[in-house]
Chains A and B, each alone.
Chain A
Amino acid sequence: MIRTVTFEKTTYNELPYKFEAGTPNIAGGIGLGAALDYITHIGLQKIAGYEHDLLVYGTEALMRIPGLRMIGTAREKAAVLSFVIEGIHPHDIGTVLDQQGIAVRTGHHCAQPVMDRFHVPATTRASLAFYNTIGEIDALVAGLHKVKEIFS
């Protein structure tokens, strides 16, 4: 933020204002507040419990797919399902799922050392949250069967 500007000279405001560029992110601040209200209203414990149920259901459902290997199986983990399927590259999996309306992330997830640790070039990752449903996990499983059908 400036104090005065002329063609000849610019002076800046004192600290910390000199590092604040123009209008602050007011909408962002209000949005964050609304998001916190929403989460608090539902309850963090409730969210954690529901997401854990999704994780347990999703893990079991995916593990039944032949050739699928789960990456990251720590006992205490968030509702994230990262996996590889033998012989099919994650980007091909992602494109076919995308065509069925299922959004996953594919690639090295900005975590190349972890990919090296598990000896995989990339993974497919479904990240579940409290707005996901059991039905959506079933759709993911059906989608993965379709992937296998195309690339088998």
Chain B
Amino acid sequence: MVHDLYQETILDHSKRPRNCHPMEDATRKAEGYNPLCGDKLKLFLKMDGDIVSDVSFVGSGCAISTASASLMTESLKGKTRTEALKVMEKFHDLLTTDSPVTQELGKLVVFCGVRDYPARVKCATLAWHTLKSALNGAVEEPVSTE
């Protein structure tokens, strides 16, 4: 049962997060914070016009939030702003609805087990909330999952 949540890919990305470093020439940055867990995340985006050409993050959190940030950065490169927001919407549906799991989310479907753990949905969505705020422009205040 626990393995439905902590699938191999999630454990792998939580132990060895990809794109986990600051980015000096980022064109957009945003900070995310989950006050319930204390999870913190800084997201760096390099936009080439409307296209996400590079993305990275730094932060501290649980296995689910770290793996989610890592897999998110992998899934975004080369996507347009609209495409990225569309993925976010689909990802959110994957976690919060009973809709059938489609393969169009690619590797991100490993998070489908989270829907059975409502308390952990915020861990999985922190990086995505932060992405949305980065894509929507500069923000002064850290975005919160609350």
Contacts and interface: CB of A to CB of B under 8 A. Distances in A.
B38 A95 contact: no
A121 interface: yes
A95 to B, nearest CB: 6
A95 B37 contact: no
Contact of A95 (B11, B60, B61, B120): B120
Contact of A107 (B2, B36, B63, B117): B36
Nearest to A97: B2
Interface in B95-132: 117, 119-120, 123
Interface residues of A, number: 16
A92 B38 CA distance: 14
Given A150-B2, A150-B11, A92 B63 contact: yes
A118 interface: no
A127 to B, nearest CB: 18
Interface string A84-111: 0000111110011001000000011000
Nearest to A88: B63
Q: Is the interface of A mostly helix, strand, loop or mixed?
A: helix
Interface string A39-73: 00000000000000000000000000000000000
B138 interface: no
A152 B62 CA distance: 14
Contact of A151 (B1, B5, B63): B63
Nearest to B2: A99
Among B1, B3, B62, B63, chain A packs the most CB atoms within 10 A around the CB of: B62
B92 to A, nearest CB: 20
B139 to A, nearest CB: 23
A151 B67 CA distance: 13
A128 interface: no
B81 to A, nearest CB: 31
A100 B58 CA distance: 32
Interface in B1-23: 1-3, 5-6, 11
A115 to B, nearest CB: 7
Nearest to B117: A95
Contact of B38 (A88, A99, A115, A150): A115
Contacts of B61: 89
Contacts of A95: 2, 5, 117, 119-120
B68 to A, nearest CB: 13
Given A89-B63, A108-B38, 8 more contacts: A92-B6, A92-B62, A96-B2, A122-B37, A150-B3, A150-B11, A151-B6, A151-B63
Interface of B: 1-3, 5-6, 11, 36-39, 60-64, 117, 119-120, 123
In order of increasing CB-CB distance, the 6 nearest A-B pairs are A89-B62, A91-B62, A99-B2, A92-B63, A121-B38, A92-B62
